[in-house]
């Protein structure tokens, strides 16, 4: 009798585009895919930061190049992806937060957060999918969402709303593009220690709130996301689409 064999977590020979790659979760996702053999294109606004990260990856034996662009410039972003693609894998880690109580939200803050977290994420995912469909290639598209896509949070009405929206379009795109072999999923992290979350951790009351909600008793690190990205990008997740992979230490188990 022959035992079944686990599908490979390798993404060797694949091209990956990582948006928001200049720091935090995006940087870690780029390294995670590079470790598994992908040729990684790093995308963010800061060319100098991308150059430094790409240099580190190459020194570690990985393949990396850069695409310095602001993804909120949607037409330029789409043109660049069409010219440089197709990409087999997308990881969209570009995101922002402007926290305030719901009564204090300004239209300017609402638009700033929604434009990057929702609108740009939508059209970035669309742009990569178009390249795959035109090329008749399968692929894995991953949006970094949040546990706040499943719950609410103090001072996070706008942020949570944008992440709920990401979950909605991810499921709809997964339904539409499944026939092309394109999988679309999200990863929903808890609070991860990055420059984006530092203001929360510097507030003792907010930090206590976070630590009390995470059942495993610690905040997340970028390394906690790397295995999830490798899984969803690879053939190990060949039947996973329209799903949210929750990496929250038990926050949403209540």
| Sheet-wide strand order for 139-144 | 63-68, 39-44, 15-19, 89-92, 139-144, 182-189, 244-247
Site of tokens 């206590």: 208
Helices (H), the chain: 24-35, 47-59, 74-84, 107-114, 121-135, 157-177, 198-201, 204-213, 223-233
User: Of the listed 75, 122, 159, 180, which one is catalytic?
Assistant: 159
**Alpha-carbon span 65 to 120, nearest angstrom:** 22
**Alpha-carbon span 140 to 138, nearest angstrom:** 7
- Answer yes or no: are the C-beta atoms of 40 and 62 closer than 8 Å: yes
- Answer yes or no: are the C-beta atoms of 247 and 189 closer than 8 Å: yes
3-state helix, strand, coil in the chain (%, to 5): 50, 15, 35
- Answer yes or no: are the C-beta atoms of 20 and 41 closer than 8 Å: no
Active site residue 159: yes
CA-closest candidate to residue 224, choices 31, 17, 18, 28: 28
Residues with catalytic annotation? 159
């Amino acid at each position: 009798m022959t035992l079944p064999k686990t599908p490979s977590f390798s993404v060797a020979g694949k091209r990956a585009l990582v948006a928001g790659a200049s720091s935090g979760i995006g940087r870690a996702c780029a390294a995670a895919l590079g470790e598994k053999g992908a040729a990684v294109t790093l995308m963010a606004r800061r060319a100098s930061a991308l150059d430094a990260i790409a240099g580190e990856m190459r020194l570690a034996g990985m393949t990396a190049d850069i695409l310095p662009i602001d993804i909120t410039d949607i037409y330029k972003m789409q043109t660049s992806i069409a010219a440089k693609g197709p990409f087999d894998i997308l990881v969209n880690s570009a995101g922002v937060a402007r926290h305030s109580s719901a009564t204090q939200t300004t239209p300017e803050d609402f638009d700033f957060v929604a434009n990057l977290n929702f609108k740009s994420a939508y059209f970035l995912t669309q742009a990569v999918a178009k390249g795959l469909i035109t090329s008749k290639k399968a692929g894995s598209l991953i949006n970094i969402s949040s546990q706040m896509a499943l719950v609410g949070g103090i001072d996070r009405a706008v942020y949570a709303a944008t992440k709920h929206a990401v979950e909605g379009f991810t499921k709809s795109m997964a339904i539409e593009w499944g026939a092309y072999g394109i999988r679309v999923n999200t990863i929903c992290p808890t609070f991860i220690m990055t420059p984006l979350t530092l203001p929360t951790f510097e507030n003792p009351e907010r930090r206590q709130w976070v630590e009390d909600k995470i059942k495993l008793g610690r905040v997340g690190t970028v390394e906690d996301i790397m295995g999830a990205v490798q899984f969803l990008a690879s053939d190990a997740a060949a039947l996973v689409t329209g799903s949210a992979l929750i990496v929250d230490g038990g926050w949403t188990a209540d």
